[in-house]
A and B are shown apart, each in its own frame.
Chain A
Amino acid sequence: MLDAIFSLEAIYVLSGLVLVVIGASTFRDSTHPARIRSGLFWTLLGVVFALGSVLPAWLTGVLVIAMAAVDATGGVRSGEHHEPSHDEKSRSADRFGAWLFAPVLMIPVLTYLSLAVFSRLTTDINRVVYVGLGYASVVAGLAAYALTRARPAMIVSEGRRLAEAIGAVVILPQLLAALGSVFKAAGVSEVIAGMVASVAPTGSVLALAVIACVSVAMLTFVLGNSFGAFPLMMTGVGIPLLVTPYGASPAAVGLILLTAASCGTLCTPMAANFNMVPSHLLEMKNEYGVIRFQAPFAAVMLVVHIALLWAVLTFVG
Chain B
Amino acid sequence: MEYLRLIGIVVVLVGFVLRLRVAAVVVAAGLITGFVAGMPIVGTDAAPGIIDTLGRAFASQRIITLFVLALPAIGLSERFGLQEQARRLIHRIRAATAGRLQLVYQVFRLVVVALGIRLGSGHVAFSRPLVLPMALGAAGVDGDADDGRVERIKAATGASDNYGNFFGQNLFVGAPGIALVVSTLKDAGIATDPVRIALWSIPVAVASVLIATGQYWLLDRWLRSQPVPPTADGAATPEAD
Per-position 1/0 for A56-100, Cβ under 8 A of B: 111111111101110110100000000110110111110011101
Contact call B62/A49, Cβ cutoff below 8 A:
yes
Say whether B85 contacts A101, CB under 8 Å.
Answer: yes
Distance between Cα atoms of A226 and B167 in the complex (Å): 12
Chain B count of residues within 8 A CB distance of the other chain: 119
Give Cα A7 to B64, complex, Å.
16
Residues of B within 8 A of A55 (CB): 55, 59
B49, CB-defined interface residue at 8 Å: yes
Q: Which B64-104 residues have a C-beta within 8 angstroms of A?
A: 64-86, 88-89
Contact partners of B193 in chain A: CB under 8 A: 251
CA distance A141 to B72 in the complex (A): 6
- Whether the pair A265, B166 counts as a contact (CB closer than 8 A) is yes
Q: Which of B53-67 contact A (CB under 8 A)?
A: 53-59, 61-67
**Which residues of B lie under 8 Å from residue A103 when comparing CB positions?**
73, 76-77
Q: Which residues of B contact A72 (CB under 8 A)?
A: 21, 23-24
The reply to whether the CB of A305 lies closer than 8 angstroms to some CB of chain B is yes
Contact of A182 among B2, B54, B167, B215 (CB under 8 A): B54
Residues of A within 8 A of B228 (CB): none
Tell me, yes or no, whether A237 is within 8 Å of chain B by CB.
Answer: no
Option from B12, B154, B196 in Cβ contact (under 8 Å) with A284: B154
- B68 lies within 8 A of A290 (CB): no
Rounded to whole Å, the gap between the CB of A35 and the closest CB of chain B is 19
Cβ of B176 and Cβ of A227 under 8 Å apart?
Answer: yes
Which of B29, B39, B158 contacts A282, CB < 8 Å?
Answer: B158
Contact between chains at B156 and A188 (CB < 8 Å): no
- B241 at interface, CB cutoff 8 A: no
Stretch at the interface among A8-16, A26-34, A198-206: A8-16
Contacts of A101 in B (CB 8 A): 82, 85-86, 130
Q: Tell which of B59, B81, B154, B200 touches A48, judged by Cβ atoms closer than 8 Å.
A: B59
B55 touches A254 (CB 8 A): no
Given A191-B2, A292-B155, CB of A57 within 8 Å of CB of B180:
no
Knowing A60-B56, A130-B66, A227-B177 are in contact, say whether A293-B73 is a contact too (CB < 8 A).
no
Find out whether the CB atom of B201 lies under 8 angstroms from the CB atom of A180.
no
Interface residue tally on A, bucketed by range: 35 or more
| Residues of chain B within 8 A of A98, CB atoms compared | 85, 89
A134 touches B66 (CB 8 A): yes
Secondary structure class of chain B's binding surface, majority of residues? helix
Residues on the B chain within 8 Å of A90, using CB: 81, 84, 235
Contact of B75 among A8, A89, A161, A269 (CB under 8 A): A161
CA distance A144 to B192 in the complex (A): 48
Task: Evaluate contact between A269 and B16: CB separation under 8 angstroms.
Answer: yes
Partner of A112, one of B119, B155, B212: B119
B22 within 8 A of A: yes
Contact A171 B65 (CB under 8 A): yes
The residues of B that contact A84 with a CB separation of less than 8 Å are 79
B-contact 0/1 string along A123-141, CB 8 Å cutoff: 0001001100110011011
Binary contact track B128-154/A, C-beta < 8 Å → 1, others 0: 111010000000000010000001101
Apart from A71-B24, A93-B84, A182-B8, 16 more pairs, CB < 8 Å? A61-B56, A93-B82, A98-B85, A101-B130, A107-B73, A138-B69, A159-B68, A169-B22, A174-B61, A185-B48, A226-B177, A266-B166, A282-B154, A289-B155, A289-B158, A301-B207
Give B contacts to A, CB under 8 Å.
Answer: 2-3, 5-6, 8-9, 12, 16, 21-24, 26-27, 29-30, 33-34, 36-37, 39, 42, 48-59, 61-86, 88-89, 117-121, 123-130, 132, 144, 151-152, 154-159, 161-163, 165-167, 170, 176-178, 180-181, 184-185, 187-188, 190, 192-193, 196-201, 203-204, 207-208, 211-212, 215, 233, 235
